[in-house]
Amino acid sequence: SAVISQKPSRDICQRGTSLTIQCQVDSQVTMMFWYRQQPGQSLTLIATANQGSEATYESGFVIDKFPISRPNLTFSTLTVSNMSPEDSSIYLCSVELASGSRDEQFFGPGTRLTVL
Amino acid sequence: KQEVTQIPAALSVPEGENLVLNCSFTDSAIYNLQWFRQDPGKGLTSLLLIQSSQREQTSGRLNASLDKSSGRSTLYIAASQPGDSATYLCAVSGDSWGKLQFGAGTQVVVTP
């Protein structure tokens, strides 16, 4: 398994500001993922972040709004830019670990964001 | 486009009863299926991973089956305990690149 930490664990932000969320993994991984979980909803994939290349965004998510960095194989950041109350969600990072033919995903504890 | 559905949306059982949680998916061409547990306001804990070639996986009181042809998976939790109260999510991956499509979850309450 993998131990994943996220900072901050929660934050309350003002409309129009930006927040950068950090994700740290205890082992080197190729792929990291960022998900959003809006209140009462399930998880939706925002983007896939591979080291050394630009992040790949899912439909409905754009780089200007959710810029992502992946400077090395154990760390990634997600920025939520120009926030509005609709951005209030839990943001989770995850990693995929391969063991033989098994590709299992592990998640961080999440960052609970409230935008006023 | 893959769609994942979980039924029921919520479930309340007395302690000791067995739990049966259902997950269905529309595209049977999956790479694997994973069951997670989420406690309120927390991240996800991986419970079981079933590869597309497998029919079931077991871990302690948990057993998950997979019928790929019919697009269904079932999570069984034997002899439920109050500590099993959580939301259970199933997610499918269409390829080896890791992108997961999640169901909406089943919220479980086990009463003492």
Question: Bridge-partner residues for B109, per DSSP?
Answer: B12
pLDDT at A37: 93
Chain A nearest-CA distance from B98, in A, is 6
Evaluate if residue B10 carries a pLDDT over 80. yes
Evaluate if residue B96 carries a pLDDT over 70. no
pLDDT at A101: 60
Interface contact A31-B98, CB threshold 8 A: yes
Tell whether A41 lies on the interface with B, counting CB pairs under 8 A. yes
Tell whether B49 lies on the interface with A, counting CB pairs under 8 A. yes
Phi, psi torsion values for B63, nearest 5 degrees: -140, 130
Tell whether B46 lies on the interface with A, counting CB pairs under 8 A. yes
In tens, the pLDDT along B53-94 reads: 999 999 999 999 999 999 999 999 999 999 999 999 999 998
Q: What angle do CA B37, A109, A25 make, to 5 degrees?
A: 115
| Residue of A23, A36, A43 for testing the chain B interface, max B β-carbons within 10 Å | A43
Question: Which parts of chain A have pLDDT scores under 70?
Answer: 99-102
Please, how many CA atoms are within 13 Å of residue B49, restricted to the half-sphere of its CB? 19
